[in-house]
């Protein structure tokens, strides 16, 4: 009787359970492969696309723009140069810039690197975990996210649970977007906030206080000193209400002065550039018209220095 049970279980295992598991596994791999190839890696405005691009591709003539949402929506690549790609990702800061520099400086390239510096860059990190999941098996990423990744983040198909919808939205917005203009990784707000709504943003900003604490740049310092490539640091315009909310302005000026000590850094400080309110999306971000205006000035300043991208 025991042998009969063992025999029946073996038949069940080899005829049903294992084949069923193999079929599920194959379907999972196909879905994972298709989702990455046709959705994630076709959405050039998404963080996951940009991280994958910086990790796995090297475009010899490409100049990169890196930074937070202020970079993503503040510099229009096609205006600045013919071979410029915007790697700006929302909600990122100092750690993401270091991540990109670490990978970019290992490439055999001579093109400049454009960093859009925020006054709050030290408060913003490396970005959301989902941006790095397609490359979870990359040793550099795996080590960096060892405290964030769970075991399923390394398993095809399962690693995107909770992220399928959001990545699909990025894909749709990349293909058809009525509220933004997309260009080489950049995504720019076409919508102009009504005056009363913008004034609400200004009033809220006037009630806030900002303390600049971005002086600890040990990793950034070592990365910049490790290369001869030109580092172009751009500080894009802030609305005057934001600038007025800064408590320790002297610390910011000292920090800017410290950047000028690097032989390969050129600073383009547009933070106090006077712009009409209609060129802002809110007190810290430009809309498309504002981005075009600043990008054209940036391009003109680059040309004056004989820097052609």
* pLDDT exceeds cutoff 50 at 285: yes
* Mean pLDDT to the nearest integer, 34-56: 96
Least confident of 22-26, 49-53, 62-66, 244-248: 22-26
In terms of Cα–Cα distance, which of 294, 283, 267 is closest to 120?
283
Predicted pLDDT at 4: 45
Q: Is 48 helix (H, G, I), strand (E, B) or coil?
A: helix
| Consecutive H or E run containing 114 | strand 113-116
Tens digits of per-residue pLDDT, 87-142?
999 999 989 999 999 999 999 999 999 999 999 877 768 999 999 999 999 999 99
Nearest to 132, CA basis, from 53, 39, 73: 53
User: Tokens 């791999």 identify what position?
Assistant: 29
Measured CA to CA, the distance from residue 50 to residue 64 in angstroms comes to 11
Residue 124: its pLDDT value, please?
67
Say yes or no to pLDDT of 294 above 80. yes
Neighbours of 119 (CB within 10 A): 22
Q: Is the pLDDT reported for residue 212 higher than 80?
A: yes
Q: What is the pLDDT of residues 176-211, one digit of tens each?
A: 888 999 999 999 999 999 999 999 999 999 999 988
Show the tokens assigned to 97: 């810039």
Q: Where are the domains of the chain?
A: 61-126+179-304
The more confident residue out of 79 and 121 is: 79
**127 φ/ψ sector (left φ>0, alpha ψ -120 to 50, else beta):** left
> 140-165 pLDDT, tens per residue?
999 999 899 999 999 999 999 999 99
d(CA 252, CA 98): 20
Contacts of 23 (CB under 8 A, 6+ apart): none
State yes or no: pLDDT of 13 exceeds 60. Answer: no
Higher per-residue pLDDT: 305 or 15: 305
Whether 277 and 239 have beta carbons less than 8 Å apart is answered as: yes
- Name residue, tokens 């298709």: 34
Topology of 61-126+179-304 in CATH?
Answer: Rossmann fold (3.40.50)
Mean pLDDT (the chain, rounded): 91
**At a CB cut-off of 8 Å and minimum separation 6, what does 297 contact?**
270, 273
Pairing verdict, β 180-183 and 186-189 = antiparallel
Q: What is the DSSP string of the chain?
A: -HHHHHHHHHHHIIIIIHHHHHHHHHHHHHHHHHHHHHTGGG-TTSHHHHHHHHHH---TTPEEEE-SHHHHTT--HHHH-TTEEE---TTB-HHHHHHHHHHHTTSS----EEEE--TTTTTSBS--GGGGGGGTTSHHHHHHTTTT--GGGGSTTGGGTTTHHHHHHHHHHHH--SSEEEETTEEEE-----HHHHHHHHHHHHT--B---TT--HHHHHHHHT--S-EEEEE----HHHHHTBS-HHHHHHHHHHHTTSTTEEEEE-TT----GGGBSSSS-B-HHHHHHHHHHHHHHHHHTT---
Question: pLDDT grade, residue 217 (50/70/90)?
Answer: confident
Q: What is the tens place of the pLDDT at every residue in 222-260?
A: 999 999 999 999 999 999 999 999 999 999 999 999 999
Token pair listed for 282:
């809110």
Quote the pTM value.
0.91
Strand residue runs (E) in 166-271? 180-183, 186-189, 231-235, 265-269
């Amino acid at each position: 009787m025991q042998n009969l049970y063992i025999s029946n279980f073996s038949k069940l295992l080899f005829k049903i359970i294992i084949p069923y598991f193999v079929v599920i596994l194959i379907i999972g791999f196909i879905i994972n492969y298709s989702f990455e190839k046709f959705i994630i890696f076709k959405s050039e405005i998404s963080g996951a696309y940009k991280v994958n691009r910086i990790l796995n591709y090297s475009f010899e003539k490409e100049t990169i723009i890196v930074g937070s949402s202020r970079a993503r929506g503040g510099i229009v690549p096609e205006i600045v140069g013919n071979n410029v790609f915007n790697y700006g990702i929302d909600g990122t800061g100092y750690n993401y810039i270091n991540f990109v520099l670490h990978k970019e400086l290992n490439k055999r390239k001579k093109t400049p690197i454009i960093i859009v510096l925020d006054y709050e860059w030290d408060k913003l990190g490396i970005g959301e975990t989902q941006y790095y999941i397609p490359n979870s098996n990359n040793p550099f990423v795996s080590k960096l996210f060892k405290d964030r990744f769970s075991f399923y983040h390394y398993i095809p198909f399962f690693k995107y649970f909770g992220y399928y919808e959001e990545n699909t939205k990025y894909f749709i917005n990349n293909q058809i977007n009525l509220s933004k203009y997309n260009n080489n990784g950049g995504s720019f707000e076409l919508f102009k906030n009504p005056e009363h709504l913008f004034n609400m943003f200004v009033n809220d900003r006037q009630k806030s206080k900002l303390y600049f604490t971005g002086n600890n740049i040990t990793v950034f310092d070592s990365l910049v000193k490790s290369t001869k490539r030109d580092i172009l640091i751009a500080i894009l315009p802030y609305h005057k209400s934001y600038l007025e909310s800064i408590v320790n302005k002297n610390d910011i000026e000292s920090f800017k002065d410290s950047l000028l000590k690097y032989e390969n850094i050129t600073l383009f400080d547009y933070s106090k550039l006077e712009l009409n309110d209609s060129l802002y999306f809110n007190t810290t971000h430009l809309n498309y018209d504002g981005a075009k205006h600043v990008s054209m000035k940036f391009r003109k300043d680059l040309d004056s220095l004989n820097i052609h991208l």
